[in-house]
Chains A and B, each alone.
Chain A
């Protein structure tokens, strides 16, 4: 089985930076994913890390440390539209493709 932990909620101001942490304990590992999900909508793929280090994609960056079982998603220059749930997911090394998700972090961006 797997445990994937992330904070329940974070609040930040428009234009600021927010870092969402995710820790995981897995029997296997084949990549860590971050998804954004607006209320009532499907998750949207944001980023993917399989090797240690930082992946940058515009305003969003994701970091992975496999030895520590730790990842973070960094959201820069926050915009109101970034208010959403952010899901951390681990691809189980025993089964190609299947994802195990955390419960999600609700990010609230205030003016």
Chain B
């Protein structure tokens, strides 16, 4: 499979717990993005990497959120002390200079109870 993959696909957690999601981009893509999507809305940009460098973070990304891409390949997104408002679909996408558009993974659906 040469597409973007994300794990887990679903995560249910209790408020206050920490969660970590993983994204594996398309192998030749050097750019990786995290978005969050709630029902009835378009995806909202969270953060963006070019290779291992995190180039931009949205104001939506509070101190409880951290993302890494240590070797410029896969990326992780961690949410500490989860809140009910964090319940959403977390989407990862990747692109390259020649890919034109960004290609999305299947997403991780987080439910905070």
Contacts and interface: CB of A to CB of B under 8 A. Distances in A.
Interface SS of A by simple majority: strand
B28 to A, nearest CB: 15
A99 interface: yes
Interface string B81-113: 000000000010001000011111111000000
Contacts of B40: 103-104
B106 to A, nearest CB: 5
Contact of B106 (A4, A41, A98, A104): A41
A99 to B, nearest CB: 6
A98 B42 contact: no
Contacts of B33: 97-99
Nearest to B42: A101
Contacts of B56: 95, 98
Nearest to B44: A101
Given A33-B101, A43-B91, A98 B45 contact: yes
A21 interface: no
B7 to A, nearest CB: 14
A99 B104 contact: no
Interface in A4-39: 4, 33, 35
Contacts of A101: 42-44
A45 B103 contact: yes
Contact of A95 (B35, B55, B102, B107): B55
| Residue of B42, B48, B91 most packed against chain A (CB within 10 A) | B42
A71 B91 CA distance: 25
Contact of B104 (A44, A100, A104): A44
A102 B104 contact: no
A101 B106 CA distance: 17
20 contacts: A33-B101, A35-B101, A35-B104, A41-B107, A42-B91, A42-B104, A43-B43, A44-B104, A45-B100, A45-B102, A87-B42, A87-B43, A97-B102, A98-B33, A98-B56, A99-B33, A99-B43, A103-B40, A103-B41, A104-B42
